[in-house]
């Protein structure tokens, strides 16, 4: 892993908050040439510091009205069971994030659906029927105080 200098860190901060900034705009902010900024961005992508560039959508405008967090308890904890669960749950477009957890449950999922009916269908016909799943305990988001995508650097 390469050592990031102050310019790299500032560049990453800027891109985390607005990945649509042009190399010209970045060069102005960093007081570097456009070519130097372009090369740094290419290097940070090549070394996987920048994994991908995305647009963050307003979920309400695209019909996603319900966010929930589900704790999933598996029937067994063998390598095969864990891998198969991860492989299957990664296929579900409703699952926005999947984390294997230490503690009383095995996985935490962040799930996005249109509404409670859509969540119910997802649970009953997709998630709970996976052969690895023992129990699912779900919490529904009432309001969102903070949602960040930028890591502190």
- Among candidate residues 48, 79, 70, 54, the one with its CA nearest the CA of residue 120: 70
Residues of the chain with pLDDT > 70: what percent?
Answer: 100
Backbone angles phi, psi at 139, to 5 degrees: -120, 135
Query: What does the mean pLDDT of the chain come to?
Result: 96
- Find the mean pLDDT for residues 58-79: 97
Q: Indicate the pLDDT class of residue 2, thresholds 50, 70 and 90.
A: confident
Pick the CATH number of 66-140 from 3.90.1150.150, 1.10.10.10, 3.30.70.920, 3.40.1190.20: 3.30.70.920
Q: Name the residue with tokens 């029937």.
A: 75
Q: Name the residue with tokens 């405008």.
A: 61
Residue 58 has a pLDDT of: 96
Class of domain 6-46: mainly alpha
pLDDT digits (tens, 9 = 90+) for 87-144: 999 999 999 999 999 999 999 999 999 999 999 999 999 999 999 999 999 999 999 9
Backbone angles phi, psi at 112, to 5 degrees: -120, 120
Domain parsing of the chain, residue ranges: 6-46, 66-140
Alpha-carbon distance of 13 to 1, in angstroms, equals 19
Per DSSP (E only), the strands in 55-125 are 66-74, 95-100, 107-113
């Amino acid at each position: 892993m390469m050592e990031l200098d102050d310019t790299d860190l500032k560049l990453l901060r800027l891109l985390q908050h607005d990945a649509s900034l042009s190399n010209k705009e970045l060069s102005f902010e960093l007081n570097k040439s456009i070519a130097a900024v372009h090369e740094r961005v290419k290097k940070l992508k090549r070394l996987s510091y920048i994994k991908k560039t995305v647009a963050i959508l307003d979920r309400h405008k695209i019909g996603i009205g319900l966010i929930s967090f589900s704790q999933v308890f598996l029937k067994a904890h063998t390598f095969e069971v864990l891998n198969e669960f991860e492989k299957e749950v990664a296929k579900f477009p409703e699952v926005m994030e999947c984390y294997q957890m230490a503690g009383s449950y095995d996985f935490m999922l962040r799930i996005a659906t249109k509404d409670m009916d859509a969540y119910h269908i997802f649970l009953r016909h997709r998630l709970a029927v996976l052969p690895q799943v023992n129990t699912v305990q779900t919490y529904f988001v009432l309001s969102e105080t903070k949602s960040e995508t930028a890591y502190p650097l």
